Amino acid sequence: MRVSLFITCLADQFYAEAGVAAVRLLRALGVEVDFPPGQTCCGQPAYNAGYLPEARAVARHTLEVFRESEYVVLPSGSCTSMVHHYPELFAGHTPYREAVALKERTFELSQFLVRVLGVTRLGEGLKGVRVAYHHGCHALRELGIREEPLLLLQNAGAELVPWEAAEECCGFGGLFSVKLPEVSLSMADRKLETLEAEVLTSTDAGCLLHLSGRLEDRGQKVRVAPLATLLWEAYARA
């Protein structure tokens, strides 16, 4: 089985360790991993802003870059969700069938581990660690990813802390945090006021970037780590 890693812009710039962890984990599980060097943005910023021709131009490039990939795996629910929007983006346009095909073989990391590889146990390297999981909106509400990351963390020995705001939006939302910063920060603070954990994790770098900034501003000492990083620790420390 061969997987192409799609690192995504935010992971590349702010959480590169998540990409490294995803590659190490997949290879440890016997998966051949490559990294198409021509990959760029998935097109989500333009798509969310309503610039559809510009979003199509970026998406066409992504279709070309991953044309030969057997599977495409991302350490991001948000960008995975954007690739799943490609058929809608190309409805009535030439590469529609190619967009559907790419959607069908593109997965967020935890989704790929559980649903494609059938892996639910990676090791108990997180034994006793108190972890809070933030359900990013795209992963939860667009891709239906809820149980996969929780199952992998629990089976790694992590203590998943109850968090009443776990499924609430963090307020990042890409352009939302730029256009309505006061509302965005209030939403993050609402989540963090109810957070009691050693480690905060999620599938999405944008959410973690937003929440880690507010944690620092608020003086809350919580480690923030991408899910891919924790899953690799679960395997490597076992």
Per-residue pLDDT tens over the stretch 60-85: 999 999 999 999 999 999 999 999 99
pTM reported for the whole predicted model: 0.94
In angstroms, what CA-CA distances link 108 with 56, 72, 230? Answer: 21, 9, 15
- 233 and 198 Cβ atoms separated by less than 8 Å: no
- Give the β-pairing of 130-134 and 106-108: unpaired
Of 13, 15, 33, the C-alpha closest to 24 is 33
Question: 174 pLDDT exceeds 90?
Answer: no
Collect all residues with Cβ–Cβ distance below 8 Å to 178 and sequence separation of at least 6. none
Residues with Cβ within 8 Å of residue 88, at least 6 apart in sequence: none
**CA–CA gap between residue 67 and residue 18 (Å, rounded):** 24
**214-229 residue pLDDT tens:** 999 999 999 999 999 9
Residue 175 clears pLDDT 90, i.e. is over it: no
- Mean pLDDT within 132-143: 96
What pLDDT was estimated at residue 39? Answer: 97
Tell me the average pLDDT across 149-166. Answer: 97
Mean pLDDT computed over every residue of the chain:
96
